[in-house]
A and B are shown apart, each in its own frame.
Chain A
Amino acid sequence: MKILVPVKRVVDYNVKVRVKSDGSGIETAGVKMSMNPFDEIAVEEAVRLKEKGVATEIVAVSMGVTQCSETIRTALAMGADRGILVESDVELQPLAVAKLLKVIADKEQPKLIILGKQAIDDDMSATGQMLAAFLGWPQGTFASKVLIEGDKITVTREVDGGLETVELSLPAIVTTDLRLNEPRYASLPNIMKARKKPIENLKPADLGVDPAPRLTVLKVNEPPKRQAGKKVASVAELVDKLRNEAKVI
């Protein structure tokens, strides 16, 4: 069974992002970039399925600037077998990515596509769902547990009220939630070996897709600054402030 895992290059989760002074976006110059954490969970799940003998090949796909090859290389070091880079200088939004992935899936014919439930940069949570629609495949989103038996996949989903279990027939789309697994960090020997694994280079035009953005960002704002806390001398004062200042009771 072949698994396709799309991986996105995003600002590292440890970076304190700063908004550009003109509000057009966030500062990315000189900022550390890494694989989207939910995508790491996706790669990990695919690698575990391969280690269990369920999967035979893992293909990691990344889209965007040239440096996305590094994100693919990270997936290869974690255990993916080969990579596909779709290079584009145009900003790729979920719709374009889903269209590109649809064409790649048609070509590669994977049995399973595992994506992160969202990317931590734009938090759109849309690509997996759109891709499922384009392919006409069933989807198990926000997965906290995945079990494959024959041609069926059982996905435990984290939904507002608790856990929901769905059974899908393969091929299918799964998007990962935080609790699905704890992704490994690549060992140094595996990083060295990943150097020899192949990465195929494509352009959106090669896949017959127009990647032009359909959404325009009007403005990006800093979240409001947190106010300093206040100290109170007594419970009575606390209750008074909660009632009259904060107006929460």
Chain B
Amino acid sequence: MAASDTAQTTEQERLILDSVARFLDRDVKPHVHALERDDIYPEEIVERMKELGLFGAVIRPEYGGLGLSCSTYAKIVERVSTVWMSLSGIFNSHLIMASAVQRFGTEAQRREFLPRFASGAMRGGLALTEPDCGTDLQAIRTVARREGDRYVIDGVKTWISNGIHGQCFALLVKTDPSIQPRHRGMSLFLAEKGPGFTVSRKLEKLGYKGIDSAELVFDNYVIPADRLIGGQEGRGLQHALGGLELGRINVAARGVGVSQAALNEAVSYSQLRKTFGKPICQHQAIQIKLADMATQVQAARLLVENAARAYDSGERCDMEAGMAKLFATEAAVNVSLESMRIHGGYGYSKEFTVERLYRDAPLLVIGEGTNELQRIIIARHLIERNPV
């Protein structure tokens, strides 16, 4: 039984990836260049993503989602990012918000929100970062004051993905700004847009275009107390960080997708471009690049699969997720640069895909915990797991 279950799961995964590939070929590829050039939010593609079911990928079936494993989900993210990384952002941070509700929310919150998240009717993301802090989240200054059966929230969040087009955000605040240790005063709310919750501006970026990154302002924003995820104050940081394992595997999978795309471009260009009488793929200097790039892409993919497997088995996987995130995103930066160099002058041209990949990749080493932070996490777990 177990064996045929696995066979069914792999068959199902193939069918899923096949549909995703067709969606990308038919509904995404022809439009990426124009949408990215003009930084336009891909509304029609988002409609197709809703129909395809991507917004419910890891939400459990009893709440209207697909209940996919992290392994399958990571492969979807990789495929999508091979074509356009920005699209993965539209459902990735949405699903991290949803996972927070699924894992830590009350049953009433799950029943109220998850079906709408799963269909994509209500979309959103994660609002943690503030103008003065990102890595050091315990230093946030957004505050929620309790007043009877509601809270009043004041503060500013920045760099929030889906900030303009999303309707609901997992919002990290201080419910007690003075308590020590600081995390005991932190709480995570499910904040829907409404009076007192405004978007102050859209941020202009180097890459990762199309998806909106925004600054959100909370000014006397009133929220019912039952929107506190899990219903208990002081658990916010734990809830926010709890979602980051999935988030890191997510971002790592994007790294694999971007580097695979850069490799693909290099492999085909190097066979077409000739110098000194032969295709450049026959020059040893280019061969060495191609070999290193391909090896990095494959190693990154295996690290992501490894972390996703650990996540699916329910083990703690901060170290595995951290390693995958670190390696795969550095690979994206490196491989996209190498691919650009293989393209020569054309690599610097806006008419070639590799130029976009090169601009998209650096976000990955920053978002979802910078790679400096990943190294700190990996080292900490390394020591913890191996005491002398």
Known A-B contacts A187-B53, A188-B54, A188-B66; the reply to A70 vs B14 at CB < 8 A is yes
Stretch at the interface among B19-27, B96-104, B307-315: B19-27
Question: In B276-314, which residues have CB < 8 Å from any A CB?
Answer: none
By the criterion CB–CB under 8 Å, are B66 and A70 in contact? no
A69 CA to B7 CA, complexed, in Å = 11
Question: In A171-203, which residues have CB < 8 Å from any B CB?
Answer: 185-189, 191-192, 194-195
Taking the closest CB of chain B, its distance from the CB of A234, in whole angstroms, is: 24
A77 CA to B66 CA, complexed, in Å = 14
Task: Name the contact of A191 in the complex, choosing from B19, B22, B26, B61 (C-beta under 8 A).
Answer: B19
Contacts of A74 in B (CB 8 A): 15, 18
By the criterion CB–CB under 8 Å, are B26 and A192 in contact? no
A230 CA to B15 CA, complexed, in Å = 44
Most A-side CB within 10 Å, residue of B57, B61, B66: B66
A186 CA to B57 CA, complexed, in Å = 15
A154 at the interface (CB under 8 A from B): no
Task: Name the contact of B57 in the complex, choosing from A70, A185, A188 (C-beta under 8 A).
Answer: A188
A70 CA to B26 CA, complexed, in Å = 22
Task: Name the contact of A186 in the complex, choosing from B11, B19, B61 (C-beta under 8 A).
Answer: B19
B12 at the interface (CB under 8 A from A): yes
Task: Name the contact of A73 in the complex, choosing from B15, B22, B52, B57 (C-beta under 8 A).
Answer: B15
A70 CA to B7 CA, complexed, in Å = 11
By the criterion CB–CB under 8 Å, are A187 and B8 in contact? no
By the criterion CB–CB under 8 Å, are B8 and A185 in contact? no
B51 at the interface (CB under 8 A from A): yes
By the criterion CB–CB under 8 Å, are A195 and B52 in contact? no
Nearest residue, chain B, Cβ from A183:
B22
A77 CA to B56 CA, complexed, in Å = 17
A16 CA to B8 CA, complexed, in Å = 28
By the criterion CB–CB under 8 Å, are A187 and B51 in contact? yes
Contacts of B26 in A (CB 8 A): 185
Question: In B121-148, which residues have CB < 8 Å from any A CB?
Answer: none
B16 at the interface (CB under 8 A from A): yes
Question: In B230-260, which residues have CB < 8 Å from any A CB?
Answer: none
By the criterion CB–CB under 8 Å, are B11 and A73 in contact? yes
Chain B interfacial residues counted at CB < 8 A: 20
By the criterion CB–CB under 8 Å, are A192 and B66 in contact? yes
A74 CA to B22 CA, complexed, in Å = 13
Taking the closest CB of chain B, its distance from the CB of A35, in whole angstroms, is: 9
Most B-side CB within 10 Å, residue of A34, A73, A186, A187: A187
Task: Name the contact of B11 in the complex, choosing from A70, A185, A192 (C-beta under 8 A).
Answer: A70
A74 CA to B12 CA, complexed, in Å = 9
Taking the closest CB of chain B, its distance from the CB of A87, in whole angstroms, is: 15
A235 CA to B112 CA, complexed, in Å = 73
Contacts of B61 in A (CB 8 A): 192
Contacts of B12 in A (CB 8 A): 73, 191-192, 195
Contacts of A188 in B (CB 8 A): 16, 19, 52-54, 57, 66, 68
Known A-B contacts A185-B22, A185-B23, A185-B26; the reply to A191 vs B51 at CB < 8 A is no
Contacts of A73 in B (CB 8 A): 11-12, 15
A77 CA to B52 CA, complexed, in Å = 12
Nearest residue, chain B, Cβ from A78:
B19
By the criterion CB–CB under 8 Å, are A187 and B15 in contact? no
A186 CA to B53 CA, complexed, in Å = 10
Contacts of B11 in A (CB 8 A): 69-70, 73
A188 CA to B55 CA, complexed, in Å = 10
A69 CA to B14 CA, complexed, in Å = 13
Task: Name the contact of A34 in the complex, choosing from B18, B57, B66 (C-beta under 8 A).
Answer: B18
Taking the closest CB of chain A, its distance from the CB of B49, in whole angstroms, is: 10
A186 CA to B19 CA, complexed, in Å = 6
By the criterion CB–CB under 8 Å, are B23 and A191 in contact? no
Contacts of A187 in B (CB 8 A): 19, 51-53
Most A-side CB within 10 Å, residue of B15, B22, B53: B15
A77 CA to B19 CA, complexed, in Å = 10
Contacts of A195 in B (CB 8 A): 8, 12
Most A-side CB within 10 Å, residue of B53, B57, B61: B53
A34 CA to B11 CA, complexed, in Å = 12
A189 CA to B11 CA, complexed, in Å = 15
Most A-side CB within 10 Å, residue of B16, B26, B57: B16
Most B-side CB within 10 Å, residue of A34, A73, A188: A188
Most A-side CB within 10 Å, residue of B14, B16, B18: B18
Task: Name the contact of A185 in the complex, choosing from B19, B54, B56, B68 (C-beta under 8 A).
Answer: B19
Taking the closest CB of chain B, its distance from the CB of A231, in whole angstroms, is: 14
A70 CA to B17 CA, complexed, in Å = 13
Nearest residue, chain B, Cβ from A34:
B18
Taking the closest CB of chain B, its distance from the CB of A1, in whole angstroms, is: 27
Contacts of A189 in B (CB 8 A): 53, 56, 66
A4 CA to B27 CA, complexed, in Å = 30
A140 CA to B247 CA, complexed, in Å = 53
Question: In B53-108, which residues have CB < 8 Å from any A CB?
Answer: 53-54, 56-57, 61, 66, 68
The 8 closest A-B pairs by CB, nearest first: A188-B53, A185-B22, A185-B19, A189-B53, A191-B15, A186-B19, A187-B53, A70-B11
8 contacts between A and B (CB under 8 A): A74-B15, A77-B19, A185-B23, A187-B52, A188-B54, A189-B66, A192-B61, A195-B8
Known: A188-B52, A192-B12, A194-B15. 14 other contacts (CB 8 A): A70-B11, A70-B15, A74-B15, A74-B18, A185-B18, A185-B22, A186-B15, A187-B51, A187-B52, A188-B16, A188-B19, A188-B53, A189-B56, A195-B8
Question: What is B's interface to A at a CB cutoff of 8 Å?
Answer: 8, 11-12, 14-16, 18-19, 22-23, 26, 51-54, 56-57, 61, 66, 68
Question: What is A's interface to B at a CB cutoff of 8 Å?
Answer: 34, 69-70, 73-74, 77, 185-189, 191-192, 194-195
